[in-house]
Amino acid sequence: MTATEVADGITAFVQEPGTLGLSNATLVRDGGTALVVDAMLLPEMSEQIVAAAASRATRVATVLHSHHHIDHCGGNSVFGSARVVAHPPTAADIRKVLSEPDLLDRIMPRYAGRFAALGARVPEPADLSALAIPRDGQPLVFGPAHSFHDVALWFPGQRVLVAADLCSNGVLPLAIHGSIAGWADALSRLIALEPETVVTGHGAVGSAQTLRDLRGYLVQVNSLAEAAVRTGGGVDDALAEFDAGPVSGWLEAGRTRQNLAKAIEQARGRAGYLPGSGPVTGERVSRRG
Ligand SMILES: [Zn+2]
């Protein structure tokens, strides 16, 4: 793990290469108190953040979870008396995630056995517009985008964006919980802020160009999916047309197939197909009446 002070008082904790289970977190300090964005997967991963705060005589007052995925909240037990908060629906989703350790064992077999005794705290639902964020940070809520609800923090004075999983760098995301089209729109809004530094949820610290590269990927996945629905094609047809372009070389390339499958499901939904319905042939339409 590397800790990099990307701007005065803002330190990014990055776990390269950012593949499954290896996520990033951010410490934002002002005076003697601090806010942490995300708590990684396991307590031992988050210990470094606690140590970094302590070495600067800073008390972590608040832990804010950007979204409900376990790799961003599983390690929150190390923050002692800090207030742990999330956007209200995200807090409810985290409660559910933490209540299903067997499911987590199956989703993340590499860490199987760790989830039943994780001891992670359920965040308190919080009105983020009223949350005290050091360095004049502004919360931005999106959703559905990367997940059902995603929170980013924008520091206009320093032009730093803590994007969490709305952006990754060098590793393709798995886009199975939100809306691929909604995520591309969220990235457009983040690009319009013109950040100089983007702390991603996975992979190295990036820039506005990283946001543009990921947006380009998602726009392409979405348009290939819409073409597949228009022409009656499937995932293989869409994948054959896929051109990685600026994200070629990013890790987890196999996720593109999963993302295309999800994007096709979402495009079918927009086209009026019912969930789970097969290809709608003329015969099937007439039988339905
Ligand atoms: Zn993540």
Q: Which residues contact 190 (CB under 8 A, 6 or more apart)?
A: 140, 152, 161, 163, 166, 167, 198, 211
The 3-state DSSP class for residue 17 equals: coil
What does the pLDDT read at residue 284?
A: 45
Question: Does the structure show a pLDDT above 60 at 101?
Answer: yes
Task: Return the biggest CA–CA distance within the chain.
Answer: 71
What pLDDT digit, counting tens, does each position of 71-86 carry?
999 999 999 999 999 9
Report CA(104)–ligand 1 centroid distance (Å). Answer: 14
Answer whether residue 147 shows pLDDT above 60. yes
Q: Ligand 1 centre and the CA of 134: distance in Å?
A: 23
Contact 6, 160 (CB under 8 A): yes
Average pLDDT of the residues in 113-127: 97
CA of residue 225 to ligand 1 center, whole Å? 24
203 C-alpha to ligand 1 centroid (Å): 10
Q: What is the reported pLDDT for 285?
A: 44
pLDDT value at 44 more than 60:
yes
Tell how far the Cα of 69 is from the centroid of ligand 1, in angstroms: 6
Q: Which pairs count as long-range contacts for 108-114, CB under 8 Å and 24+ apart, including other chains?
A: 108/20, 108/21, 108/41, 108/70, 110/20, 110/21, 111/21, 111/41, 111/42, 114/42
Which class is 2-217 in CATH?
alpha beta
CA of 169 to the centre of ligand 1 (A): 12
Which residues are found with C-beta within 5 Å of the ion, ligand 1? 23, 69, 71, 165, 201
Region of poorest pLDDT, from 70-74, 215-219, 268-272, 279-283:
279-283
Report the run of H or E that residue 128 belongs to, with start and end.
Answer: none
pTM: 0.94
Q: pLDDT-based confidence at 151, cuts 50/70/90?
A: very high
Q: Which residue has the tokens 């056995």?
A: 113
Spacing, Cα 170 to ligand 1 middle (Å): 13
For the segment 86-101, the average pLDDT, to the nearest whole number, is: 98
Helix (H) or strand (E) holding 133: none
Ligand 1 geometric centre to CA of 272 (Å): 31
Whether cis (ω within 30° of 0) applies to the bond prior to 88 is no
| pLDDT, the chain, mean | 94
d(CA 74, CA 123): 11
pLDDT tens digits for 107-118? 999 999 999 999
What is residue 176's predicted lDDT score, i.e. its pLDDT? Answer: 86
pLDDT at 282: 43
Could you tell me if 204 and 14 are in contact, meaning their C-beta atoms sit under 8 angstroms apart? yes
Question: What is the mean pLDDT of the segment spanning 98-112?
Answer: 96
pLDDT digit string (tens) for 175-213? 988 999 999 999 999 999 999 999 999 999 999 999 999
What pLDDT was estimated at residue 29?
Answer: 97
Q: Is 260 helix (H, G, I), strand (E, B) or coil?
A: helix
Q: In which element (H, E) is residue 44 found?
A: helix 43-55
Q: How far apart are alpha carbons 155 and 148 in whole angstroms? A: 23
**Dist. CA 259 → ligand 1 center (Å):** 15
Residues 6+ apart with CB under 8 A from 286: none
Distance 155 CA to ligand 1 centre (A): 21
What pLDDT does 278 receive?
A: 62
pLDDT tops 80 at residue 268? yes
